[in-house]
Amino acid sequence: MIEATQSPLVLGAMMFGTTIDEQMSFALLDRFVERGGVWIDTADCYAFWAAGTGRGGDSERVLGRWLAARPGVRDRVRIATKLGAEPLDPGSWPQGRAGLSPAAVRQAFAGSLDRLGIDRVDLLWLHQEDRSVPIEDTVDALAGLAADRFGFSNHPTWRVERGRAHARTIGSRPFDALQLNATYLRPRPGTLPPGVVHRFGVLSDEQADYAAEHDLDLWAYTPLLTGAYDNPAKPIPEVYDHPGNTARLKVLDEVATESGATRGQVVLAWLLSRGIRPMLGGSKIHQLDSAFDGVARKLDADQVRRLDEADHSAWADPYARR
């Protein structure tokens, strides 16, 4: 579902207003639009862990001030935000979070619109599953909200299917997107990469197959391992240390050398070859420019095949789309 007329890169605004100050946030947003970027992703809980208050909302507030300061830019960008993971009280996460009850959904969404200074969003994500609430109740609450699309982030496939089925039953707008962690390297089974705190947060074979069968838009967060592919000061996380990835890194280096690209740029191009929209959470202009250059690259068929088959398990490629 990536439209050919727009850049597939998503700008992740997670740390805007906290570790990325407003001046740099505005500069990144301006450059993103200048390079043809369209989708900007945030959440009501961003970034509570880095905020002095222990609450989220800073990212949405910065985006709201940027939109207000750039007349006409709202027509050029699409805003995606998430709800459900905001702490009920500072320090209460993850046990105490807003969740996905109908009342919580309506209250959180109203707060997001207020902070963003807009009257509707282009895509609203359910951020984390909430098993204390029937998914049908959550879908009922979403039906009346001012959002053009709905998506699931960090949910098991069975709850996604139940939610989508109920939306069809009540004639609501369909869920047509999944947001999960995905990159070229694969974590060891039974492990979660750093920053992934959700049991179903890493794109699995089943989730990818479900998305392919039902033509769902796939978004990948942390595709560049926070810079570890190319920054010697950032080692690749230990959960990726296994023989299969040794083979994958070897081919990744070969393709990068052939292409005159960085490892990270090849990873972005490879994700796109699998039909996956990468999300960038960089904090510097040159990182954003490098990512745009990466998604503009086209790997040839042989390079894609070699990357897919590097660990001799292409038949089990969790990102393959039929």
CB-count exposure of residue 319 (10 Å: 0-12, 13-18, 19+): buried
Closest to 45 in 3D by CA, of 104, 1, 4, 2: 104
pTM over 0.75: yes
Give yes or no for residue 289 having a pLDDT over 60.
Answer: yes
pLDDT of residue 1: 57
Q: Determine the 3-state secondary structure of 274 from DSSP.
A: coil
Neighbour count for residue 192 (Cβ, 10 Å)? 16
Over residues 15-38, the pLDDT tens digits come to: 999 999 999 999 999 999 999 999
Strand partners, 125: 82, 151
Over residues 250-269, the pLDDT tens digits come to: 999 999 999 999 999 999 99
Give yes or no for residue 314 having a pLDDT over 60.
Answer: no
Average pLDDT of span 307-316: 74
Q: Which percentage of the chain shows pLDDT scores above 90?
A: 90
Full set of structural domains in the chain with CATH: 10-311 (3.20.20.100)
Residue-wise DSSP of 26-74: HHHHHHHHHTT--EEE--TTTTGGGSTTS---HHHHHHHHHHHHSTTGG
Q: Report the C-alpha gap between 268 and 288 in whole angstroms.
A: 12
